[in-house]
Amino acid sequence: MNKRPISVTIISWIFIAIGVVTLAYELSELKGHSFHSDDVWVGVVRFTAIVCGAFMLRGNNWARWLTMAWLAFHVVLSAFNSWHELAVHSVLAAVFAYFLFRAPANEYFRAKGSSWRA
C-alpha cells in the first residue's frame, strides 16, 4: 500500500479546516438576516473545500483536480479585488500545485486509482 505523503495530508486538512470554519461563519451570518440566492453559492464553495480535503485523504485523484480548480477559482475572484489578494492566492495555488503534483503525490493518487469513483 502506498503511503500518503505528509504534504497531501497537510493540504487536505487545511482544506477541511477552511471549509468547516468558513461554512460555520457563513451559517452564523445568516441568523437574523434575509436569505439571498448568493448565499447558496457561497455555501457550495465552502462545502466544496471540505469535499476536496476529505476525498484527497482517501486518495481520489478527482479531488486533487477539484482542489486545483477551487484554487484557480479563488485566484480569478481575487483578481477583481486587490493586487495583494491576487498575489497571495496565486502563490498559495502555486505552492499547493507543487506539492499536489510532485512524484510522491502522483504515486499516491495513482495507487488509489485514477477513476472518478467516490
Quote the pTM value. Answer: 0.84
Centre a 10 Å sphere on the Cβ of residue 71 and count the other Cβ atoms it contains.
22
Nearest CA among 92, 91, 84 for reference residue 49 = 92
* pLDDT tens sequence across 63-104: 999 999 999 999 999 999 999 999 999 999 999 999 999 999
Query: How far apart are the C-alpha atoms of 67 and 26, rounded to whole Å?
Result: 20
Is the separation of the CB atoms in 22 and 72 below 8 Å? no
> Which pLDDT band, with edges at 50, 70 and 90, does 118 fall under?
very low
pLDDT of residue 98: 97
Is the separation of the CB atoms in 11 and 67 below 8 Å? yes
Rounded percentage of the chain residues whose pLDDT exceeds 70: 92
pLDDT of residue 111: 81
